[in-house]
Amino acid sequence: MIPLLVSPDGLRVLVVGGGPVALRKCMHFEGADITVIAEKTMEGIADVAKNVIKKRVTVLEICEMMSDFDITVMATDNETMNSEIRDHALSQGLYINSAHGGGNILIPSVLDRGRYLVTVSTNGKLPAFPPFVVEELETFLDGRFDAMYDILFEARIMCAGKGTQKKRSEFLKRVAHDPEVRRYAADGDVLSATDRVKELGVPK
């Protein structure tokens, strides 16, 4: 599988299920056009989903609905139902995520720092591992990373529209790997780092 970040704007997502797993899936796709279908739904789902259909549905009914959505998420606790619908989706070339695995769309663990985010996945092989990595990254990604973000942001402004795309990319890479810049980032000294960036030769 390939990692990919997709805008939720206009994305049509069908979530089947109304429990904690369904809520978690809905929150991951927040901003998309989400339809949830389940006999009962827990608190919080209606706050995220655009449409909530409360009814008991059959495998056939879900299979008939799927083609109207970009992604279907099977989040019920019925493994047989999830698997049957997953297999149908795969046979039709439709995108499917299943709580019991085997789909062609996987939802990674995410560490969202506002200005940047990190995702971790094992391609479904070991679901307990990504959350562990995210917990470790919470402490590892300290203030020096925020400082480096600010430094690179300033460097990008400095070289905007100057030189070729290749030269701008090489310049930003040089900034990120410069020992002095890294030392200033570790100290949280963005101003001194910015002065150092100017010395590295902004493309003309």
Instruction: Dump pLDDT digits (tens) for 23-71.
Output: 999 999 999 999 999 999 999 999 999 999 999 999 999 999 999 999 9
Distance separating alpha carbons of residues 86 and 77, to the nearest angstrom:
14
Whether residue 123 lies inside any domain: the answer is yes
Q: Is the pTM of this model over 0.75?
A: yes
| Domain boundary residue, one of 98, 116, 140 | 140
Domain that holds residue 135: 108-140
Are 156 and 134 part of one and the same domain? no
Does a structural domain hold residue 162? yes
pLDDT at 204: 85
**Amino acid symbol at 29:** F
Is position 204 within any domain?
no
The whole-number pLDDT of residue 179 equals: 98
Residues 6+ apart with CB under 8 A from 88: 59, 63, 66
Question: What is the per-residue pLDDT across 111-164, written as a single tens digit (0 to 9) for each?
Answer: 999 999 999 999 989 989 999 999 999 999 999 999 999 999 999 999 999 999
Answer yes or no: are the C-beta atoms of 191 and 158 closer than 8 Å.
no
Count up the domains in the chain and report the number: 3
